[in-house]
Structure 1
Amino acid sequence: MAEQENFDYGPVEIFTVEFPGEAPSPGVLESLARLESTGTVRLLDMVLAGRAADGSLRISELTKDDAAAAGLAPALPGLIGEEDATEAAQGMPEGTGVALVALELSWATELAGNVAAANGTVTDSIRIPAPIVNGFINEFGQADA
């Protein structure tokens, strides 16, 4: 088997999360901080976009103060651009917001390196959102443990 490549980053996922109001609740940042502290993910960047009552759009990076208050330090601020946030906010109703969150899946870094070292290629990745999984399990019975 080929030697494992040295990966500085694992796979990255960009989540687009819509919410009522101009910003997600503080619990969202607290959850990210807990996941970072366990090494599950690393926050790379976070951009917020909010649609005001007059229809105007406000876009901002996660502030250093908000990040620091939650125990976070985005590793690659600027990764998500203003144009990404503008696109995500298209058609968003007044009084709502959206957060674009770039997360490195730290837990998968070693696996990604070993797949590459074995000349493997990830050809597809599908994420099934938690509400769908839980709805399915609730409708059709408990999953086998």
Structure 2
Amino acid sequence: MSAARFGPVDFYLLGLPGQSLDPAAFSALTDITDTGLVRLLDLIVISKSDDGELTLVEVEELPNGFEINVEMLGASGLLGHEDITELAEAIPAGASALLVALELVYQRELAARTAESGAVLLGYERIPAPVVNALVDTIIPKLEV
């Protein structure tokens, strides 16, 4: 069995309140990566001014107090200019967001074994958690705990 270097990678654009950088948002990332289920490959903070101008803050430019550094990234530079520009369109003027590339480590073996078998992935769709939760809340009555 050949070893795959990476599993699937998802880009997440996480809106932050206002233009402030909150260490709690970064802490949530480090907590989940500590489980080994995902690996943080790249990260950038994007701020959009009221007139739509973008300001980018790379990991090495983060102020003290943040638990993330360049050595923690598995593929720094993976988020390209085109990705950043396209995804930044969703950021409201006067707000900031955290753009991260996360490798789904737990899917690496599945991807490798699928490829080795000669099978190919023909489709993939993700339903965002808020949509799934809202749907389930409407079709399944809440259980009393």
RMSD: 2.5
1:105 is aligned to 104
Q: How does 1:1-145 map to 2 (within 5 A)?
A: 4-23=1-20, 25-63=22-60, 69-70=66-67, 73-90=72-89, 92-142=91-141
Question: Aligned in 2, Cα 1:138/1:33: closer, same or farther, shift over 3 Å?
Answer: same
Q: 2: CA distance between counterparts of 1:69 and 1:91? A: 25
Name the CA shift for 1:27/1:142 in 2 (closer, same or farther; >3 Å).
Answer: farther
Q: Which letter does structure 2 place at the counterpart of 1:59?
A: L
TM-score (normalised: structure 1): 0.81
Q: Distance in 1 between matches of 2:5 and 2:90?
A: 37
Alpha-carbon shift at residue 8 of structure 1 (Å): 1.3
Give the deviation of 1:66 after TM superposition: 6.0
Question: Percent identity among equivalent residues?
Answer: 32
- Structure 2: unaligned runs, 5 residues or longer: none
| Residues 116-125 or 79-88, more deviating | 79-88
Deviations 1:103-129 (A, max 9, x none): 110011111111111111111111111
Change (3 A) 1:68 1:13: farther
Paired with 2:80 and 2:32, the residues of 1 have a C-alpha distance of 24
Bigger Cα displacement from structure 2, 11-20 vs 58-67: 58-67
- C-alpha separation in 2, matches of 1:139 and 1:24: 35
Q: Which runs of 5+ in 1 are unaligned?
A: none
SS in 2 for 1:63: helix
- 1:40-60 deviation line (CA, Å, top 9, x unaligned): 100000122111245432012
Cα deviations across residues 68-104 of structure 1 (Å, max 9, x unaligned)? 8425611111111233222222364321123221111
TM-score normalised to the size of structure 2? Answer: 0.81
Q: Secondary structure at the match of 2:135?
A: helix
Count of residues in Structure 1 that have an aligned counterpart in Structure 2: 140
Question: 1:19-46, CA deviations, whole angstroms, 9 ceiling, x for partnerless residues?
Answer: 3322563222212212211111000001
Mapped to 2, the partners of 1:107 and 1:46 lie a distance apart of 20
